[in-house]
Every structure is written in structure tokens, then in C-alpha cells.
Amino acid sequence: MNTLHLTPMRRLWRYTFLTICGLVFIFLIAPILVVIPLSFNAEPYFIFTPKMLSLDPAGFSLRWYRDFFSSSEWNLAVGNSFIIAICATLVATVLGTAAALGLSRSVMPFRTLIMSLLISPMIVPIIISGAGMYFFYSAVDLAHTMPGIILAHATLGAPFVVITVTATLIGFDHTLTRASANLGARPLTTLMRVIVPLILPGVISGALFAFVASFDEVVVVLFLAGYDQRTIPLQMWSGIREALSPTILAVASLLILASILMMLTLEFLRRRNQRMRGMTAT
């Protein structure tokens, strides 16, 4: 933005606004800035030791990362988290995309009501959803099983897919599907070779959100998981309550790194989607 033509008051307000935004940003990321260096603490403390403050190499260590990678409990939790998150993401992506495609059709009856029901897991407090899923899955023998946790996480992740794919379909040119039908393509061919490639950035974005929602979920896992179905968030929660260890800080640092990579991927997909629509990225 060119500030040369701004009045002194407007320029002052602009710099004041940017300063306030910067302070808020620093306030929000301050916990992250503390967690990451503490994960390299050579001592089993959650504080900065004198050696760390003086930047003495003896005060830093990778021992908590080694503990994480060598622990059978943490390895089990990592494996469970990835299996559950990947499977739940696949289910949520397929069902959420299908729902969004149906809701995008003008002939779809009760679209507002159906949309409200589909995104209700995002609105209802997670503790209520977790309790309801526990009683329902216990009645059908899915509690304390991997399929039950996967279905529960897919339920929580599907609204993200529905919202992102629906937003992508707002600018979709339906003349392309009519042209495909006029050229003799079957509905499945039109779906796979015309619609899906154009909405793929929205589908991938929704899938990433669903993956993150599943990977970070702890409340539903508390209700549904047995000991063998422990995930990383549940293992961290148990570690905080039972045996407090800086290994949790190492795990948190790795999750922060994964979140940053995920956000960069989402930003790349957003810009790519804008280019595909002929929009200029801002």
C-alpha cells in the first residue's frame, strides 16, 4: 500500500494499527516461543536453567527427543494417531465432498437444514459429542475399538470438508458439466475428469483440516479409546497428569513444526486455487 498520499493522521493510524497487530501476534505466539527452546533443556525442568540463559552448550540436549523416539508408549501413540487420522480423513473427505456436491445443486431440497446438520459437530460442544458417541458406540460394540474412533473422528472432520468444498463450488462453472454431458460423457466420467480436478484444491484443503482435527482430538479419544488405542494428544494428557516429563515439550515442538508445514501447504493451495480461478493473490 502506498503511504505517500496519506494524511499525517491516517499515516499515524496505519502505523499504530500495525503495531497493535504485531503486539497481538507476539502475545499469541509467545507460548510457542517458550516451548521450543525448553524442549532442548538438558535438565528435567520446565524452566530456563542458568546454563540455558547463558547459552552454555552444556545446558542444551536432545535427550527428550531421544526419549520420545525410543519410547514404546510414544511410538504406539504416534502409530495410532497416524492410522486414525489418515483413515478418518479418507472417510471424511469422501463423505464431505459427496455432501458438498449434493448441496451445490439448486434442486436439492432442505439445503439449509441439511447443511446445518452436517456442520453441527463444529457447533455442539465437543464434550457433549464425545459423551453421545460413547453411549451410542457402546450400544453397538464400537467403543474402545479403532473403527469406532475412526468413525468418530470422521464425523468431526467431515464439516471442514463440506465447508471448504462448498466454498470452492460457489464459483464453479456448471456449463462445463453440461458441455461434458452433451459430448456423451457419463455422470461418473464428468465427475472424475471435469468436476474433481477443478475442485481438487478445496478437497485437499478440507482433507488437511480434517486430518488436523483428528490428529489433535483428545476429548473423544478420552471417551472411546482403550489403552491400546492411545493417541499422541491422549498420551500427552496422561503424561501431564501422571508423570510430568519434558518429553512432552519435545512432542509439542514437533507438532508445532508439523502445524507450520500444514499451514504453508494450505496457503499454497489457496493461492493455487486463486490462480485457477483467474484471481490475483493478495
pLDDT for residue 282: 44
pLDDT for residue 24: 92
137/151 Cα distance (integer angstroms): 10
- Beta bridge partners, 60, equal 41
pLDDT for residue 281: 44
34/41 Cα distance (integer angstroms): 11
pLDDT for residue 80: 92
Largest CA distance in the chain: 75
Tell me the percentage of the chain whose pLDDT exceeds 90.
Answer: 19
- Cell numbers describing residue 94: 469422501
Residue 133 to residues 98, 142, 157, 260, Cα–Cα distance (Å): 23, 10, 15, 31
pLDDT for residue 26: 87
pLDDT for residue 50: 86
Task: Find the Cα–Cα–Cα–Cα dihedral 84, 95, 148, 255, rounded to 10°.
Answer: 30
- What are the backbone angles phi and psi of residue 41, rounded to the nearest 5°? -65, 130
- What does the DSSP assignment read for 144-196? TSHHHHHHHHHHHHHHHHHHHHHHHHTT--THHHHHHHHTT--HHHHIIIIIH
pLDDT for residue 201: 81
Ranges under pLDDT 50 in the chain: 280-282
Residue 259 to residues 144, 197, 253, 254, 273, Cα–Cα distance (Å): 28, 26, 10, 9, 21
Select from 156, 167, 193, 149 the least CA-distant residue to 274: 167
Q: At what angle do helices 247-276 and 196-215 cross, to 10 degrees?
A: 160
Question: Any residues with CB less than 8 A from the CB of 138 and at least 6 apart, and which?
Answer: none
Q: What is the pTM of this model?
A: 0.79
Q: Does the domain at residues 80-276 carry the CATH identifier 1.10.3720.10?
A: yes
pLDDT for residue 273: 65
Per the document, the length of the chain is: 282
